[in-house]
Amino acid sequence: MRFFLRPVFILFFLLLCFNCSEKEKKNISLDQGSWQSQASANGHKDQERKHKFLREIFQNNKTDYVILIIKKNFRLEVYNKDLILLKSYLIGYGSNPDQKAKRHEGDHRTPEGIYKINRILSLKSPVESESYQKLVAMNKIYFRAKDGHSKYNQPNLDLGDNAYGPRFYGLNYPNKEDQKKYQQNIKGGLLKKVKGRLPRIGSGIALHGTSDLNSLGHLSSQGCIRMSNQEIVELDDYVSLGLPVAIVFAIK
């Protein structure tokens, strides 16, 4: 009798384990399905917010394209009037670890707002043009590590020359909104005096190339947005004076 019950008991135990296992699989499957459904819904909402944001820019500007820079994702994206994503590139930007919008000169932050291309320097321009000559002169400047200009994550290695690459697209920072915020920051006590003087608002923010490819995808510049030399030339098909460039940390 004892010999007969033992295999019956084992069989019953195995069936019980199998049923439990099947229930666990169903629960896991339900959990995964719920998570995937939620992720899909969130992704759809993010896309809707992005399209709404872009639609407003197109409505307020006579333009065929918009450049959208999302700092959180380290991405530069190009959209057309139909809100179709045409290009997406990895970028680097201001090295300040707080990743906030620029407040003043020398804070190593990248500004946030809606800007316009107000300067185009290109090595594709005629050799005798100011656009070509100015960029050649800028790229001859040799940046040394001892002055705070080093390769990304290599503090003792000079950044060197050709720091701006084949294209330099200047932005109209500071715009009116930036100037307004600057005055608010002064009144709010957010700007600290250096040697008895408040820091200036700053200028010279641009999109430009870089040969320091390891810096892309990282907080790595003094405030400008950098792309690879190979990819920034692809923007030639979209960039013109007055082109809107929206810079945000994330789409809200």
What pLDDT digit, counting tens, does each position of 89-102 carry?
Answer: 999 999 999 999 99
- CA 108 – CA 222 distance, rounded (Å): 4
Cα–Cα distance list, 95 to 221, 243, 247 (Å)? 5, 26, 16
Residue 168 and residue 141 in contact, taking contact as beta carbons nearer than 8 Å: no
Taking the chain (252 residues) in runs of 10, the rounded mean pLDDT of each run is 51 50 56 61 84 97 97 98 98 97 97 98 98 98 96 96 98 98 95 92 97 97 98 98 98 89
For domain 63-248, the CATH architecture is Beta Barrel (2.40)
Domain boundaries defined on the chain:
1-60, 63-248
- CA 105 – CA 201 distance, rounded (Å): 5
Distance, first Cα to last Cα, the chain: 72
What pLDDT digit, counting tens, does each position of 55-94 carry?
Answer: 999 999 999 999 999 999 999 999 999 999 999 999 999 9
Name the nearest CA neighbour of 68 among 102, 120, 100, 115.
115
The reported pTM is: 0.84
List strand residue ranges (DSSP E) for 1-74, in order.
65-70
